Amino acid sequence: MSPMKDDFSPHEIMRLLPHRYPFLLVDRIEEFEPATRLTAVKNVSLNEPFFQGHFPEYPVMPGVLIIEALAQAGGLLILKSVEEVPQNAIFLFSGIEKARFRKPVYPGDQMILQVRQVRHKINLWKMETEAVVRGETAAQAKLTASVVAREEA
């Protein structure tokens, strides 16, 4: 797998994903192999707005946001791999299976988001995902997603 950083500038990430602050959860793409796998990075900062309420005395990144970061990385893999993305298309969850949270993610952690495409059929993709912190699995899940026209969303 070779690094493809030039193809994943922050502007390119924002061009492909509709998310913006405070919900854009991918900082950088490290590696990309079209239609196969992608490795991304999310730097978790104490300045993240969700830490104000989750939890003020013991800040832990919500599991649902770890899954969302993995889904965004999966969206980048799909959107960058397909031949042509319709102008009005959007990437949406259609399933989450076998989600497991193995260790908490704290402020100061760097999550390595690993996504591997398992199956693609028409506009549906299935991916195996894993969030790794300091060499250990923090979370993993099988995600299913689809690309649909925004009018259908």
CATH code, domain with 124: 3.10.129.10
For residue 5, what pLDDT is reported? 44
Q: Is 19 a catalytic residue?
A: no
> One digit per residue, pLDDT tens: the chain, 153 residues?
444 445 678 888 998 888 999 999 999 999 999 999 999 999 999 999 999 999 999 999 999 999 999 999 999 999 899 877 667 778 899 999 999 999 999 999 999 999 999 999 988 999 999 999 999 999 999 999 998 887 754
From the list 11, 19, 54, 120, the catalytic residue is 54
Q: Give phi and psi for 113, each to the nearest 5.
A: -100, 115
Other residues' Cβ atoms within 10 Å of the Cβ of residue 89: 19
For residue 147, what pLDDT is reported? 81
Spatial distance between the Cα atoms of 132 and 101, rounded to a whole number of angstroms: 11
Report whether 14 contacts 79 (CB < 8 A): no
For residue 4, what pLDDT is reported? 47
State the pTM of this model: 0.92
Tokens representing 133?
Answer: 């912190």
Please give the C-alpha separations between residue 136 and each of 14, 42, 141, in angstroms, as whole numbers: 28, 15, 15
For residue 86, what pLDDT is reported? 67
For residue 109, what pLDDT is reported? 98
Element of type H or E holding 113: strand 110-121
Counted domains in the chain: 1
Burial class of residue 109 in the structure, from the number of CB atoms within 10 Å of its CB (0-12 exposed, 13-18 middle, 19+ buried): middle
For residue 7, what pLDDT is reported? 63
DSSP assignments along 75-104, one per residue = HHHHHHHSS---TTEEEEEEEEEEEEE-S-
Give the domain extent around 137.
Answer: 5-152
For residue 145, what pLDDT is reported? 95
